[in-house]
Structure 1
């Protein structure tokens, strides 16, 4: 076997291992993702409902090394930042879980990092990016609004869990883990959320975000839409003529933000101009969220 073939075999082994490890970690931490809605799912659905549904019911891990490195980098980021925050004396919990079922929609929110002090709570959503965005994507914003909104709305209900504990109110959970006493209502707490984007050589924080009743309502309604769309997909989801099922064509404002983050403003504007002037199918496929 040539050195080139041996190098390719080594990289293939790494890719397969990452796929297997990612699958095992997903089962361990999330279980069957088709049985509930996560806030990252809601963020995807805000950008493209079609992509969110396909990711939930038919997503299969790709074994290309490049894609796996992108997917796994977020987990490595969290593992690296937790000791960094703790070195500064921060009291935090990783992967705080909020499990609720409004109506018939099971929602399970996982918060990357939740920092707690007397009367102060900071939610940190971590994002690993190839390059730092100029503006935060709508999906990321909605995900964070959902996290702090559910934390605020369900503060004193036994729907929280972390570190092996479950079915506690948030104040009960914090007191059991850290001995910190929080008020029974969130109105007396300084509650903020931040998105921390980290690239290979830099970082950028977006925030602060506070609880917003309208955004919380949007998150819950989007989760309901996604949940019912998943059920309909199993029984022949109605098709919009001329488009893929669920694909009602992207809102240009959201699409412009997404493309600018991916391509830069000049290339994004040029591509949007081609799409809106000639409606070329290939160009539309190029900007599909599934790409």
Structure 2
């Protein structure tokens, strides 16, 4: 009964207005009030401040600065190895697996299409047919900067306006097409493992989504799709990011979706629905063709 009420409220509440209000409040410098809010939030969600670059609450004059706090050096070692990809964010795996018939699994009884997720870009969607996807949910207590799973050169970025439903597991299980209807920022990279997409999905009271190359992408929320393209690798102005490097952040929590082309990588076997993730830990491994040893003439019958 309570769950049904929560879902009903998701449809009835003025999510855009609540999000604007939360974003405004999170940027206020309210001295003692800000400190009280930060401490109450950290206590309620059991935030581990020992991992923060500065563990003192007084170091954060606004709630947003606390929320996107950087971690101390060494807090998230990045897995080594040219064939290894690293997890992009702290959180938990919501779903991961194969993209079947151009559809991604959201939750029991719910699927959504690649083309809908990618805002109707059928040419981009074609590159990920029969590929892999992973959805990572960032809870309020998590570290909210998002990093690169592998080296990549940014090809394009698309801002897609949309709803601002919550993206927690309850909503994912009850709101159809959740990730294809919410606001999101789609980032496409060229990598040695083929094309890779990393999508930052907005949600209720997510005050803003930012990337390291463009700064704040949203707000403003103007209700139109915006698309930016970037120089290719080797060209002047190309944006190249390394494995483990920060690529974006949420001011209040949300979800990251990764897409990989077919036959390029395989996810680590220990990852499954509900697995807690830590940025930098093993995410996937490249699928490399196995070398075949040449047959010598003396072994030929």
- Under a length normalisation based on structure 1, what TM-score does the superposition of the two structures give? 0.23
Higher helix proportion, which one? Answer: 1
Higher strand proportion, which one? Answer: 2
Structure of higher RCO (CA pairs closer than 8 Å, 6+ residues apart) = 2
